[in-house]
């Protein structure tokens, strides 16, 4: 294998791993929103949920789309925001 093939293979694996992490976080975000909705908590931060999912889906990013680190960061912030609302439940 040439060095270029190894570099491409490593890049493909890294992109696949970051995309997988972004998908897992998006699923967790959707589940957290569903749990809050079932608990009857009014979602005052609805825009956080929709903004995070929109940022993941839209092609306009801070970093090019093969690098999902910015998407993961946005999803983590949204998940943290929703989880903090969930912790305030009685």
Q: Quick one: tokens of 56?
A: 């993941």
d(Cα 51, Cα 34) in Å, to the nearest integer?
16
State the Cα torsion 13-30-55-62 to the nearest 10°. Answer: -50
Q: For residue range 53-90, what is the model confidence (pLDDT) as tens digits?
A: 888 777 776 666 666 777 778 888 887 887 776 566 55
**pTM to 2 decimals?**
0.58
Is the CB of residue 25 less than 8 Å from the CB of residue 82?
no
């Amino acid at each position: 294998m040439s060095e270029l093939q190894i570099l491409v293979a490593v890049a493909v694996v890294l992109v696949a791993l970051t995309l997988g992490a972004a998908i897992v976080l998006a699923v967790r975000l959707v589940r957290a929103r569903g749990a809050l909705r079932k608990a009857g908590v009014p979602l005052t931060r609805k825009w956080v949920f929709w903004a995070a999912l929109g940022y993941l889906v839209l092609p306009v990013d801070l970093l090019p789309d093969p690098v999902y680190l910015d998407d993961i960061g946005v999803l983590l912030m949204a998940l943290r925001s929703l989880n903090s609302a969930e912790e305030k439940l009685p």
